[in-house]
Amino acid sequence: MKLKPILVLAFCFGLFTAQAQRAATPDTIKTKKSPLVVQPVTHGSLVLNYGGKNVFVDPYGGAELYEGLAKPDLILITDIHGDHLDPKTLGALQTSGVKMVVPQAVADKLPEQYKQQLVILNNGEKAMQQGINITAVPMYNLPESADAMHTKGRGNGYLLEMGGKRVYISGDTEGIPEMRNLKNIDVAFVSMNLPYTMDVDQAAEAVLAFKPKMIYPYHYRGQNGLSDVNSFKQQVNTKNKQIDVRLKDWYPAQ
């Protein structure tokens, strides 16, 4: 009898108690230790589960989007904008005592009730939380300017290391040198929405530069609707068929 698939299914049910109601199905990725489960939620929001711990990234859009998901054990917030820092959604989730990894700019804007839960990381700084190594990675617009939507040093992308896998979450950024110079990335989440981050062509060029094994285009709703992620996939795989481009439904209401 093959027990491994059964164990993985049981593990996933521990995270997703009402998965049939969710538009984007989760992916399960093997690691050297526990499975890594990726659950898209909406826009730039996702949930990662590793070792029985649930990592919420930029929870936003209302608590109803998280119905059926187990409560967070760790929260990562990338930036101060409302589609990343959403006090209303945070307030509706079970966050009592949950550590929140944030840049200083986010810490400055969070309500007082969360201050004792914060782990403040600035670009280049590291922390270990819930058995996960976390590095804060720069995220910003090009060319750099004081009036850019995302200035260098204000927000964080995150590099997570778990079970021998390196997971990169870009946050709101363009194809900056710090992204292009990443090495040995197993799973990446890269934004692509004008005028806030970069267009599909720029995103494809950046991904081809750092060559993640698996890439999820996310955060792809801009002022003119949804970016063409099929074009992104075609551009990436035309030049590098080894990169696994995962297209998920991040906007089920669209």
**One-letter identity of residue 4:** K
- What pLDDT is recorded for position 62? 93
Tell me the CA distances in angstroms from 198 to 24, 139, 219, one per residue in order. 24, 12, 11
Report residue 26 as tokens.
Answer: 């989760």
Angle at 140 between CA 95 and CA 190, to 5 degrees: 70
Residues 176, 142: contact at Cβ < 8 Å? yes
- What pLDDT is recorded for position 146? 86
Q: Which residues pair with 101 in a beta bridge?
A: 76, 119
Q: What share of the chain is helix, strand, coil (3-state, %, to 5)?
A: 25, 30, 45
Q: For residue range 82-119, what is the model confidence (pLDDT) as tens digits? A: 899 999 999 999 999 999 999 999 999 999 999 999 99
Q: Token match 């939380």: residue? A: 129
- What pLDDT is recorded for position 92? 95
Report cis status (omega within 30 of 0) of the bond before 72: no
Domains with residue ranges and CATH for the chain: 10-244 (3.60.15.10)
DSSP state of 88: H
Euclidean distance between CA atoms 63 and 45, whole angstroms: 12
pLDDT in tens for each of the 254 residues of the chain? 344 444 444 444 445 544 434 568 999 999 999 999 999 999 999 999 999 999 999 999 999 999 999 999 999 999 999 899 999 999 999 999 999 999 999 999 999 999 999 999 999 999 999 999 999 999 999 988 888 889 999 999 999 999 999 999 999 999 999 999 999 999 999 999 999 999 999 999 999 999 999 999 999 999 989 999 999 999 999 999 999 999 999 998 75
- What pLDDT is recorded for position 2? 42
Residues 109, 154: contact at Cβ < 8 Å? no
Q: For residue range 222-235, what is the model confidence (pLDDT) as tens digits? A: 998 999 999 999 99
3 state SS of 20:
helix
Euclidean distance between CA atoms 44 and 205, whole angstroms: 20
- What pLDDT is recorded for position 145? 86
The radius of gyration of the chain's CA atoms, rounded to the nearest angstrom, is 17
3 state SS of 209:
helix
**pTM for the model:** 0.91
